[in-house]
Chain A
Amino acid sequence: MPGRGWLARWPVIRQLTGEDGRSDAARSARTDALRPRTEEAGTVARSICPYCAVGCGQLVYVKDGEVTQIEGDPDSPISRGRLCPKGSASKQLVTHPGRQTQVLYRRPYGTGWERLDLDTAMEMIADRVARTRRETWEETHEGRVVRRTLGIASLGGATLDDEENYLMKKLYTALGAIQVENQARI
């Protein structure tokens, strides 16, 4: 390094005087002071990417109740720390401003959304399931016992957890709802 003054340490000067600009000559005092967000995280959760079915390992860094970074998990024998463009962008998936965090309700023939609190929505949904089930109950079909409802259907599950799919199938089956499907059919 030529000299020891601030000017001589300035990266532009160092590069102009022949040092490789793609290497140490690009470093400044500010560069040296920079620290990765991952170092400052309060907790790190070991997770799995939510997009395709390769199942790449993710490390989810959290600081002060916010996700600050999601990176590939180098321990994973599947992904060895790598993520694709979607996996690399998945911090935005969980933090982007377009995410809905409130229950919304559209009444029949309504022209706009209304707010509803979660507990009220749950009670209303339970009322509708119980009512529709009873109104569309089919004890027999062409003389054979079927004990079911064709009035209630469900779609979805391939982006959900195994435990979630399990509760869905269990509850729907007990209710007699059989039109239960997910992306695997597509």
Chain B
Amino acid sequence: MAECHPVGFQWVMEAKARGAKVFHVDPRFTRTSALADRHLPIRAGSDIVLLGALIHHVLENELDFREYVLAYTNAATIVSEDFRDTEDLDGLFSGWDQEAATYDPRSWAYEPSGEQPPADQAEGGPRDAEAAGADTYGAGGPAAHPSPRTDPTLTHPRCVYQIVKRHFARYTPELVERLCGIPRDGFAELAEAVTANSGRERTTAWVYSVGWTQHTVGAQYIRTASILQLLLGNMGRPGGGILALRGHASIQGSTDIPTLFNILPGYLDMPHAERHGGLDHYLEVEGGTTGFWGNRRSYVVSLLKAWWGEAATEENDFCFGHLPRMTGDHGHYTTVMGQIDGTVKGYFVVGENPAVGSSGGRAQRLGLANLDWLVVRDLTLVETATFWLDGPELETGELRTEDIGTEVFFLPAASHVEKEGTFTNTQRLLQWREKALDPPGDCRSELWFYHHLGKLLRQRMTDDEIDRPVRELTWDYPEHGVHREPSAEAVLREINGVGPDGRALSNSTQLRPDGSTACGCWIYCGVYADEVNQAARRRPGREQSAVAPEWGWAWPANRRILYNRASADPEGNPWSERKAYVWWDAGRGEWTGQDVPDCEIGKPPGYEPPEGARAQAALAGTDPFIMQSDGKGWLYVPAGLVDGPLPAHYEPHESPVANPLYAQQANPARRTYHRPESPYNAPGGRFPYVLTTYRLTEHHTAGGMSRPLAYLAELQPELFCEVSPQLAGQLGLANGGWATIVTSRAVVEARVLVTGRMRPLRVEGRVVHQVGLPYHWGWGGGGLVTGDVANDLMPLVLDPNVYIQEGKAMTCDVRPGRRPRGRAALDLLERYRHG
């Protein structure tokens, strides 16, 4: 955190100054480790063992926050007798279909499971597996029975509490020592601190970044932390939570308003050709009718009204048929395979640099070289724009400039100070940026580009039916200035939504299912409340409470801590004075406190939903997790994940360690691409070391926004690999000299940094060496400093829930000296691939 989110880390240091104990779990020793109370080096790819052992510790010693667990989680819920755990089936859950390599999740359901959909339509079933469907459940769970059978004594053998306890029984401190390389005294110190700092009076927070997500079990890493935090009562409370530190200024925004294939704004599913028919059918199969997702029709219809305006009517399903349909995986890596195979002809790359920034860069570049046309928009000539002129495949002779048919348009972009608009930061906070000056030359904002491209395309549309969605699209944003820049505020107001009177809405609860409201992203409804750009609010922090509600605007409804109903006990009183945040004011008959309460403000804690209630009315006054169909935090996930209802430790796709827990070595549901452009490392001795990658404070991602800057280039001029003195001694690597890192995808050279910061770990009774590589370099990109592309080393193997690649744990070999050039580099790779 101190490396990659340094200014955010000041708050960790504030907490430490007030007595908080800080642990840093990371394969490498960083600036964070230097400032933490304790650094626990861990083998990359083994975190579920560590977190699972903490869960085991809590359950074995009954250290859970029982009142919280009983009231706010599904601990008491009884699960179907058809369910079988990985502990019963040697690493597989019940429902595994070996041939299809997917789960039928129906046996994971609560009891009584009621009427179940057919296997291929089940949430988290094969349809979701092939289209990253589980992604959408991040904003709220899939449907589950709102009032299933429970055992509040938590003793029923099939209640969630007992299932979780049995599941993690073998996740012991001994196993942590064997698999993670963390000694028992280190684990004991962590377990003691985490449990001692949880409960009524205290809370513990977990902070993670892509070190947890870029794995073939990435979503399950976060799930493991969720189970721990729910058991300890650390969700929805101040100082608690599981906090994702995201790496781009508005990566949260580009997920909420997604430039992602499988979702529409506000985490609504993109329709699927086989799963969904018309609007009614889509709504029927997408999630439950209880909890706030019970208002899904209002969210969808309002989005369709925002996009197709008067053309969207009740009679034509509000133009639901204008939405294109998915038929499977249309994600980033599959798109690249489509480029190589010739099905993808044209490609826009805007503010991203896949030629050096994506895993398996060679496949990316071969894809770019096979396009008809490519549009790159960026601040500098990034490698993605110049691959045809100076890419590494020219040096090896795999490509020749004059053979590459791709037509390339490079359009320079406006910088963040040359346009106005909002970034959504990692805490869901929208902050409006004022424009400082006009962009130079041909530089334009993305807003300008897409607005004018849309206008030019509309001129090219015909009366043909296929052109109707473009013809009928609302696309009339006011323009200003010499460049005819569209109004970003007008776009933000459309995102916010308007009511029947044409006035800006102030809350998503005002959205209607009948077409009388329009809203471009329901979770952002309220950002333009009262016709005021709420994201532009800048009341100084020192003039506000610590919550600072008048700085920017957080979705939803300006809430700063999600699910904060859980900061009060079931009766609505703060768990303790020390941790008071929101509470029920019986006198006024409403919720109040330091933040916007994350529940219906007038719903008393004693509210019991009547039979047959829908949407939020179906949740009790004690249910804090209001996006879930049952209002509960899920220790066990009865539906929605494609790789199991509980996290299990699987080794990374490429690992030097055999999984001692199960016969199942790696996540059986992981997504693989068996392609010659990007092969996998064979198991065994040829690739004996663990390779992990990371960022440095002085650079940003693949370097497009940092390598061209003189200050930053000087501070971190060169690609290096971090190795321990022991490994350096074994291999004959000299500090400051050169090393060559090899996987079956690529061969990369780097300066050697011999450092005690990389510690050899004893795993399964033998020493495992880890090699660390920052990934900020490329061959060009306007960089004042250049270097080999670390991302070229990575395999294309993905988490099956969200299709994120395993970039944090793989195997490699290391050789002293510089890498071979040209054809010789290919020959070396060939020897590693085939022995």
Interface presence of A126 (CB below 8 A): yes
The CA-CA distance from A132 to B339 in the complex, in Å, is 14
Contacts of A161 in B (CB 8 A): 250, 253, 419, 421-423, 433, 445-447, 488
B113 at interface, CB cutoff 8 A: no
Please state if A50 and B249 are interface contacts (CB–CB under 8 Å).
Answer: yes
In chain A, positions 45-90 with a C-beta closer than 8 Å to chain B are 45-57, 60, 62, 65-67, 70, 74-80, 82-90
Does residue B509 face the partner (Cβ distance < 8 Å to A)? no
Return the contact of B450 from the options A88, A155, A164 (Cβ within 8 A): A164
Q: Chain A: which residue is nearest B495 at the CB level?
A: A166
Q: Which listed residue, B254, B256, B409, B454, touches A160 by the CB 8 Å rule?
A: B254
Shortest C-beta distance, A154 to chain B (Å), equals 4
Asked whether, in the complex, the Cβ of A182 is within 8 Å of the Cβ of B324, the reply is no
Give the complex CA separation of A67 and B417 in angstroms. Answer: 9
Which chain A residue shows the least CB distance to B244?
A53
Given A92-B709, A106-B407, A160-B351, are A169 and B335 neighbors across the interface (CB < 8 Å)? no
Question: Which A residues are CB-close (under 8 A) to B784?
Answer: 98
Minimal beta-carbon separation of A126 from chain B (angstroms): 4
Name the interface residues of B709-764: CB closer than 8 Å to any CB of A: 709-712, 715
**Contact yes or no, A136 B417, CB < 8 A:** no
B531 smallest CB distance to A (angstroms): 17
Q: Does chain B have a CB within 8 A of A170?
A: yes
Q: Is A103 engaged at the interface, CB distance under 8 Å to the other chain?
A: yes
**Known A55-B249, A159-B351, A162-B424: A185·B437 in contact at CB below 8 Å:** no
Which A residues touch B442, using CB under 8 A? 101-103, 117-118
B424–A101 touching, CB < 8 Å: no
B778 CB → nearest A CB, Å: 14
Known: A52-B4, A164-B445, A167-B491. A179 touches B344 (CB 8 A): yes
B103 on the interface (CB 8 Å rule)?
no
**Is chain A's interface secondary structure helix, strand, loop, or mixed overall?**
mixed
Docked Cα-Cα span, A66 to B408, in Å, equals 31
A153 in contact with B346 (CB, 8 Å): yes
Residue of A nearest to B334 (CB): A179
Q: Does A37 contact B (CB under 8 A)?
A: no
Tell yes or no: B362 within 8 A of A by CB.
no
Are the C-beta atoms of A80 and B711 separated by less than 8 Å? no
Is B773 close to A, CB under 8 A? Answer: no
Residues 114 to 153 of chain A near chain B (Cβ within 8 Å): 116-118, 121-130, 132, 134-137, 139, 141-142, 144-153
The number of residues on chain A lying at the interface, defined by a beta carbon within 8 Å of a beta carbon of chain B, is 119
Partner of A180, one of B260, B454, B544: B260
Whole-angstrom distance between the Cβ of A134 and the nearest chain B Cβ? 8
Check A7 for interface membership: any CB of B closer than 8 A.
no
For A51, list chain B residues within 8 Å (CB).
248-249, 700, 705
Q: Is residue B602 within 8 Å, beta carbon to beta carbon, of the partner chain?
A: no
**Within 8 Å of chain A (Cβ to Cβ): is B469?**
yes
- Does B257 lie within 8 Å of A43, measured CB to CB? no
Q: Shortest distance in angstroms between A107's beta carbon and chain B's nearest beta carbon?
A: 6
Check B327–A141 contact: CB distance below 8 A. Answer: yes
In the complex, chain B residues whose CB is within 8 Å of the CB of A163: 421-422, 447, 488, 491-492, 495
Q: Mark B329-344, 1 if CB is under 8 A from A, else 0.
A: 0111001001100011
Contact of A182 with B260 at beta-carbon distance under 8 Å, contacts A86-B706, A101-B441, A130-B460 already known: yes
* Contacts A109-B402, A125-B375, A182-B260; A52 near B248 (Cβ below 8 A): yes
Contacts A118-B411, A166-B491, A178-B261 given: A146-B327 contact, CB under 8 Å? yes
Q: Determine if A186 is an interface residue (Cβ-Cβ < 8 Å).
A: yes
Q: What sequence of 0s and 1s flags, for each residue 107-122 of chain B, a beta carbon within 8 Å of any chain A beta carbon?
A: 0000000000000000
Measured between alpha carbons, how far is A130 from B453 in the docked complex, in Å? 11
**Taking A92-B711, A103-B411, A109-B402 as contacts, is the C-beta distance between A158 and B437 under 8 angstroms?**
no
Q: Complex Cα distance A78/B5, Å?
A: 12
- Tell which of B6-14, B194-202, B824-832 binds the partner: B6-14
Specify the chain B residue showing the minimal Cβ separation from A137.
Answer: B466
Contacts of A130 in B (CB 8 A): 457, 460-461
Q: Enumerate chain B residues within 8 angstroms of A180, measured Cβ to Cβ.
A: 259-261
Q: Within 8 Å CB of A50, what residues of B?
A: 249, 415-416, 423, 705
B597 within 8 A of A: no
Neighbouring A residues of B804 by C-beta, 8 Å: 185-186
Q: Is B650 on the interface with A (CB-CB < 8 A)?
A: no
Within residues 565 to 581 of chain B, which ones have a CB less than 8 A from any CB in chain A? none
Evaluate contact between A175 and B410: CB separation under 8 angstroms.
no
* A133 smallest CB distance to B (angstroms): 8
The residues of A that contact B452 with a CB separation of less than 8 Å are 122
A22 at the binding interface (Cβ < 8 Å): no
The residue on B at minimum CB distance from A107 is B407
- The stretch of B165-173, B185-193, B352-360, B662-670 that contacts the partner chain: B352-360
Which B residues are in CB contact (< 8 Å) with A157?
Answer: 250, 254, 259, 350-352
A181 and B379 contact, Cβ closer than 8 Å, known pairs A53-B249, A80-B541, A154-B259: no
- A146 / chain B contacts, CB cutoff of 8 Å: 273, 324-325, 327
User: Closest chain A residue to B710 by CB distance?
Assistant: A92
Contact with A along B448-482 (1 / 0, CB 8 A): 00111110110111000010011001010000000
> Once the chains are docked, how many angstroms separate the CA of A57 from the CA of B542?
14
> Within the assembled complex, what's the spacing in Å between the Cα atoms of A137 and B539?
50
Interface string of A13-30 (1 = CB under 8 A from B): 000000000000000000
A99-B379, A139-B466, A173-B323 are contacts. A123–B260 as well, Cβ < 8 Å?
A: no
Q: Is A105 located at the chain interface by the 8 A CB criterion?
A: yes
**Residue of B418, B427, B431 contacting most chain A CB atoms (<10 Å):** B431
The interface centre, meaning the residue of B252, B324, B359, B372 with most chain A CB atoms within 10 A of its CB, is B324
- A162→B412 contact, CB < 8 A: no
B274 and A183 within 8 A (CB): no
The answer, yes or no, to whether B255 is at the interface (CB within 8 Å) is: yes
Within 8 Å CB of B255, what residues of A?
Answer: 184
Q: Is A96 among interface residues, defined by CB-CB distance under 8 A?
A: yes
Known: A47-B417, A161-B421. A62 touches B437 (CB 8 A): yes
Give the nearest-CB partner of B273 in chain A.
Answer: A144
Please determine whether A48 and B436 come into contact, CB atoms closer than 8 angstroms.
no
Q: Which residues of A contact B459 (CB under 8 A)?
A: 126
Judging by beta carbons under 8 Å apart, are A65 and B437 in contact? yes
Cα distance A109–B403 when bound, in Å?
A: 6
The residue on B at minimum CB distance from A106 is B408
Do A153 and B347 have beta carbons less than 8 Å apart?
yes
| Closest chain B residue, CB of each to CB of A147 | B324
CB neighbours of B451 from chain A (8 A):
167
The answer to whether A99 and B711 touch across the interface, beta carbons within 8 angstroms, is no
Is the CB of B270 closer than 8 A to any CB of chain A?
yes
Q: B246 to A118, Cβ gap below 8 A?
A: no
Indicate whether A8 reaches chain B with its CB closer than 8 angstroms: no
Distance between Cα atoms of A185 and B801 in the complex (Å) = 11
In the complex, which residue of chain B has the Cβ closest to the Cβ of A138? B324
Known contacts A46-B433, A75-B541, A86-B706, A181 near B260 by CB under 8 Å? yes
Which residue of chain B lies nearest to A44 when distances are taken between CB atoms in the complex?
B436
Q: Which A residues lie within 8 Å of B327 (CB)?
A: 141-142, 144, 146
Shortest A94–chain B CB gap in Å is: 4
What's the Cα separation between A166 and B477 when bound, in Å? 13
- A96 near B709 with CB under 8 A, answer yes
- List residues of chain A with CB under 8 Å of any chain B CB: 43, 45-57, 60, 62, 65-67, 70, 74-80, 82-90, 92-94, 96, 98-109, 111-113, 116-118, 121-130, 132, 134-137, 139, 141-142, 144-186
Q: List 30 A-B contacts (CB under 8 A).
A: A45-B436, A47-B417, A50-B705, A52-B248, A74-B540, A75-B541, A83-B7, A84-B7, A86-B697, A90-B416, A92-B712, A94-B415, A99-B380, A102-B441, A111-B401, A117-B442, A118-B444, A122-B453, A125-B409, A129-B453, A145-B273, A145-B321, A146-B273, A148-B325, A160-B254, A164-B447, A166-B491, A166-B494, A168-B259, A173-B307
Q: A75-B542, A108-B406, A179-B344 are in contact. List 4 more A-B contacts (CB 8 A).
A: A82-B7, A100-B379, A123-B456, A182-B258
**7 A-B pairs with the lowest CB-CB distances in the bound complex, closest first:** A77-B541, A55-B425, A101-B441, A161-B421, A148-B324, A157-B259, A45-B436
